[in-house]
């Protein structure tokens, strides 16, 4: 049986390594060697959904957590995934999307029209002012927004994009999941899931008319 002195010394050493783990690169990964891509929606409880400690409290240590509108694969998501996997020891990716998502709640073409009505020239907009090389072709803005027709289809496509991207090694485990906001439960992405009938998994279920710009078709 260890002495209290030994226990305290070990605890301090572990805490010090936790605080400075980034300097150890791949030898100082998060607790689960995990990167989570999820939506910025405040109703998505990442820790509850996945059974981990990353989001509540912040600093739980289990995963690198990346949130954006919709929890979709974007250039910055790829940038972050590439870094955590190739340089910080991550071995698994989880894509967590959800029903009732705001990215189902409007048509991307209508959002573009609303911005143009405010006098914004979307054909010359800087996507990243610090990186002018990153630009959109004329007419691509609505597609870039990334509104969804169907969250299950989008989740499946995001998983495919990550698995097939040249910056993501082939031995990385990638999976996708749907958090049913209405029922606070997790399921696999499935366009035929019976609970879809009483949730909001599509743009049509939220009263949106017309197909979205073809990012996810």
Chain mean pLDDT for the chain: 95
Q: Are 4 and 44 a contacting pair, CB within 8 Å?
A: no
If we measure between CA atoms, which residue out of 191, 195, 197 comes closest to residue 180? 195
Kindly state which CATH superfamily the domain 4-206 is placed in: Carbonic anhydrase (3.40.1050.10)
pLDDT higher at 108 or 57: 108
Query: 55-97: per-residue pLDDT in tens?
Result: 887 778 999 999 999 999 999 999 999 999 999 999 999 999 9
Q: What is the pLDDT of residue 217?
A: 65
- Rounded mean pLDDT of 116-145? 92
Please say whether the beta carbons of 180 and 78 come within 8 A.
no
The DSSP bridge partners found for residue 7 are none
- The pLDDT of 133-137, averaged and rounded, is 90
**pLDDT over 70 at 189, yes or no:** yes
Distance CA 139, CA 20 (A): 45
Share of residues in the chain with pLDDT > 90 (%): 85
Above pLDDT 70, what percent of the chain? 100
pLDDT value of residue 216: 75
pLDDT band for 165, please (50, 70, 90 cuts): very high
- What backbone torsions phi and psi does residue 15 show, to the nearest 5 degrees? -65, -40
Domain regions of the chain by residue span: 4-206
Does the predicted model carry a pTM greater than 0.75?
yes
Query: What tens digit of pLDDT does each residue of 10-59 get?
Result: 999 998 998 899 999 999 999 999 999 999 999 999 999 999 999 887 77
């Amino acid at each position: 049986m260890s002495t209290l002195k030994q226990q305290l010394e070990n605890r301090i050493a572990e805490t010090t390594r936790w605080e400075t783990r980034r300097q150890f690169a791949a030898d100082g990964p998060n607790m689960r060697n995990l990167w989570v891509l999820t939506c910025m929606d405040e109703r998505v409880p990442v820790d509850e959904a996945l059974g981990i400690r990353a989001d509540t409290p912040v600093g739980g240590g289990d995963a690198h957590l990346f949130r954006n509108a919709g929890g979709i694969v974007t250039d910055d998501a790829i940038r972050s995934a590439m870094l955590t996997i190739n340089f910080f020891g991550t071995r698994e990716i989880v894509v967590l999307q959800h029903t009732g998502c705001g990215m189902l709640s409007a048509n991307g073409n209508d959002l573009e029209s609303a911005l143009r009505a405010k006098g914004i020239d979307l054909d010359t907009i800087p996507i990243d002012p610090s990186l002018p090389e990153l630009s959109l072709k004329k007419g691509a803005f609505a597609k870039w927004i990334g509104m969804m027709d169907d969250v299950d289809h989008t989740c499946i496509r995001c998983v495919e994009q990550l698995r097939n991207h040249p910056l993501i090694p082939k031995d990385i485990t990638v999976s996708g999941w749907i958090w049913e906001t209405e029922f606070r439960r997790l399921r696999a992405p499935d366009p035929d899931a019976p609970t879809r009938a009483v949730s909001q998994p599509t743009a049509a279920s939220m009263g949106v008319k017309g197909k979205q710009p073809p990012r996810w078709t």
